[in-house]
Amino acid sequence: MSTVPLLGEASCLAAAALWAVAVELFRAPIGTWGPTAVNLAKCVLGTAMLAVTVVAVGDLGHLLAAPAGAVVALALSGVVGLTVGDTALFVAVTRIGVHRTLLLQTLAPVFAAAIAAATTGEWPNRGQLLGGLVILVGVALVIGPPRGGHAAPADRAAVPVGLAMGLLAALGQGAGVVLSRVGMAEVPVTPATLVRLAAGAACLILVAACRRQLLALVRLAQDPAARRQVVPATVLGTYLAMILMMLGVGLTPAAVAAVLLGTTPVFSLVLVAALHRRLPSALEIVGTLLAVVGVALLARGG
């Protein structure tokens, strides 16, 4: 147990904030190079950094000794959560913006609970059902077409696609969490995360090769402007945030960690307001806070 007061809580909040910053940094490269290329760059770079970390901290032996079933579950979680989930998330960012996309991710634990109930028979209790309902209400208050009636037809047409991709991203994250829990029962967190990232990257390479998009990754890597955004975003959101999340989860009760990690949309709301000089509406504030409260109820009921 750490002797530093509130270190676990601070780590969880820092991870949530870094995720919000990272997605904002990814926004411009996604618009230029596409979600598949940016997601592939993020996964490849994140895999390399985590591989060095696993070797440096002496966790390679845990990975080599891991049961095959656990490794397969972790690899599948990477394909579902990173190849499918993060690609859909990046598509959603270009259609409905960073904040609404991240707010939709609060539905990931709802999907995770539903999948767990369907596969294991662990049905949610009243607290979890209430939490899920509150999340849905909060999300419903914020998502939808741009307000004010002055949005261009192309913008209005992009919203349904963005919402569908945001929901797919949340579903992928939720399913990835369920699969990760299976693997992490026998593999430590750092090598487990390495397996997830490596599997996600491998599947993205296959997809990009089939769609003849590997050249886009090479061009992205050669673009100084893209590197200035993708590299920091990956370091902050894929690497440092993961380490901080691990530290926070290890030092903080699970329910408290889940709530603090679920505050990413709050940080996103502040970040978008600061960067784009647009004050959030009352509905955005209320909806975001309701979603976070719903995550708290869901976590506490678990």
pLDDT in tens, 106-146: 898 888 888 878 887 777 788 888 888 999 999 988 885 55
Residue 2, domain member (yes or no):
no
DSSP for residue 153: H
Would you say the C-alpha torsion 35, 36, 38, 42 has a positive or negative sign?
positive
Residue 245, domain member (yes or no):
yes
Residue 155, domain member (yes or no):
yes
Residue 149, domain member (yes or no):
yes
For residue 106, the enclosing domain spans: 7-301
Which amino acid belongs to residue 297? L
Output the pTM of the full model.
0.86
Number of domains in the chain: 1
DSSP for residue 211: T
Other beta carbons within 10 Å of 29 = 24
pLDDT in tens, 170-206: 999 888 888 888 888 888 888 988 999 999 999 999 9
C-alpha–C-alpha distance, residues 192 and 214, integer Å: 26
* Exposure on the CB side of residue 82, measured as CA atoms within 13 A: 32
Would you say the C-alpha torsion 88, 94, 95, 100 has a positive or negative sign?
positive
What's the Rg (C-alpha) of the chain? 19
